[in-house]
């Protein structure tokens, strides 16, 4: 009975994880619009200020109180997640989006699973089989091909080295954002090991992140009264970014780490650039080639291989 319940929870976690990948894929295009309309400090703060309010309301409805007494190390862990995974990642992500094309940010973000696996070995002492590494590399190569074929400057090349040949400030910021997401994965896993549930992790890391983002908004952001003159499209974009890509996505992502595992969850991040390209086709009228479709199959194959390897390793152990 418990085994069947566990299987159902894993299935739900996988479905939610796929949804997260689609939602985060859309953020790249939406973020590009937002940072072209106002500064990164304002966008970052509004995103998590709105998300924190909604999350606190949900948390209160579930627990009938907000400040539950917790050990000091719990609050410290939630603060670190908020500092690195919310404040650090969000600021660097929007900064990168303001400097380089969304697809370039996506291809650099695709290195997140590889970095996460390496950091997991160091911080969590997690052993990863050779087959799992092969799956990650296959998925990563597929991701690079997707972005290369979708980037006009690559002129149809399958592997476009020009994207990262001359590392710009925007690319450096994108890499740092990816590292922050990797550390978020590690800290999230540690928080789960401390018996912190996904809702608590998502809510209070967002609150801490919003508080930190307020200070940068206050120091560098646009005057608050200018926000009253923003158009309907701006607020729709902020609603998508704050609620769908933050409240829902972060909660579901934390659940995936809890029920699936950090290695298997992280490898799914290879699908973010693919979903970015596909959303661009639907919303921006971009064309998709046969090469992109083949690369998509390669990415899915890499994800499946990695998940198979990790599941097999768990069964053996």
pLDDT, tens digit (0-9, with 9 covering 90-100), for 254-304: 888 888 877 678 777 777 877 887 888 777 776 666 776 677 777 777 777
pLDDT exceeds 80 at position 163 = no
The H or E element spanning position 128 is none
Average pLDDT rounded to a whole number, residues 229-235? 89
Choice among 109-113, 215-219, 268-272 with the minimum mean pLDDT: 109-113
Choice among 139-143, 190-194, 293-297, 312-316 with the minimum mean pLDDT: 312-316
Q: Judge contact between 13 and 260, C-beta under 8 A.
A: yes
The residue with greater pLDDT, 83 or 277, is 83
pLDDT band at 311 (very low <50, low <70, confident <90, very high): low
Rounded to a whole number of angstroms, the CA Rg of the chain reads 19
Q: Judge contact between 247 and 51, C-beta under 8 A.
A: yes
pLDDT at 161: 64
**What span, in angstroms and rounded, lies between the C-alpha atoms of 200 and 219?**
29
pLDDT at 270: 72
Domain boundaries, the chain: 17-316
What are the C-alpha distances in Å from 107 to residues 23, 231, 245? 17, 31, 19
Average pLDDT rounded to a whole number, residues 185-190? 86
Average pLDDT rounded to a whole number, residues 68-76? 85
Q: Judge contact between 171 and 100, C-beta under 8 A.
A: yes
Residue with tokens 């924190």: 52
Q: Which residues of 51-76 are buried (b: 16+ CB within 10 A; e: fewer)?
A: bbebbbeebeeeeeeeeeeeeeebee
Count each helix (H run) and each strand (E run) in the chain, helices first. 15, 0
- Is 160 in a helix, a strand, or coil? coil
The phi, psi pair for 137, rounded to 5°, reads -65, -40
The residue with greater pLDDT, 151 or 144, is 144
pLDDT at 56: 94
- Counted residue by residue, the chain has a size of 317
The phi, psi pair for 286, rounded to 5°, reads -75, 145
pLDDT at 143: 73
Average pLDDT rounded to a whole number, residues 22-29? 89
pLDDT exceeds 90 at position 128 = no
pLDDT exceeds 80 at position 205 = yes
Percent above pLDDT 90 for the chain: 28
Q: Of 127-131, 220-224, 242-246, 290-294, where does the model show the most confidence?
A: 242-246
In this prediction the pTM is: 0.79
Residue with tokens 């158009």: 231
The residue with greater pLDDT, 31 or 261, is 31
pLDDT exceeds 90 at position 225 = no
**What span, in angstroms and rounded, lies between the C-alpha atoms of 255 and 124?**
18
pLDDT at 215: 96
The residue with greater pLDDT, 62 or 236, is 236
């Amino acid at each position: 009975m418990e085994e069947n319940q566990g299987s159902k929870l894993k299935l739900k976690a996988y479905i939610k994880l796929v949804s997260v990948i689609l939602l985060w894929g859309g953020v790249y295009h939406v973020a590009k619009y937002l940072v072209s309309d106002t500064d990164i400090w304002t966008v970052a703060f509004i995103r998590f200020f709105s998300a924190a309010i909604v999350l606190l309301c949900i948390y209160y409805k579930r627990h009938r109180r907000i400040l539950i007494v917790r050990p000091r190390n719990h609050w410290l862990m939630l603060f670190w997640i908020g500092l690195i995974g919310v404040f650090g990642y969000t600021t660097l992500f929007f900064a990168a989006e303001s400097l380089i094309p969304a697809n370039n940010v996506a291809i650099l973000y695709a290195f997140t699973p590889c970095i996460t696996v390496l950091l997991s070995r160091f911080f969590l002492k997690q052993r990863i089989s050779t087959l799992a590494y092969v799956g990650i590399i296959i998925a990563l190569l597929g991701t690079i091909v997707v972005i290369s074929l979708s980037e006009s400057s690559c002129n149809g090349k399958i592997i476009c080295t020009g994207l990262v040949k001359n590392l710009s400030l925007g690319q450096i910021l994108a890499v740092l954002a990816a590292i922050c997401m990797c550390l978020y994965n590690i800290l999230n896993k540690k928080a789960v090991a401390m018996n912190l549930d996904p809702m608590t992790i998502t809510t209070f890391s967002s609150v801490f992140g919003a508080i930190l983002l307020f200070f940068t908004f206050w120091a560098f952001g646009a005057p608050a009264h200018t926000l009253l003159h923003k158009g309907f499209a701006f607020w729709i974009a902020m609603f998508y970014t704050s609620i769908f890509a933050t409240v829902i996505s972060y909660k579901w992502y934390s659940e995936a780490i809890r029920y699936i595992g950090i290695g298997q969850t992280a490898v799914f991040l290879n699908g973010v650039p693919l979903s970015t390209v596909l959303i661009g086709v639907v919303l921006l009228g971009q064309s998709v080639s046969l090469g992109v479709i083949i690369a998509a199959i390669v990415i899915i194959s890499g994800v499946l291989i990695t998940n198979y390897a990790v599941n097999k390793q768990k069964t053996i152990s």
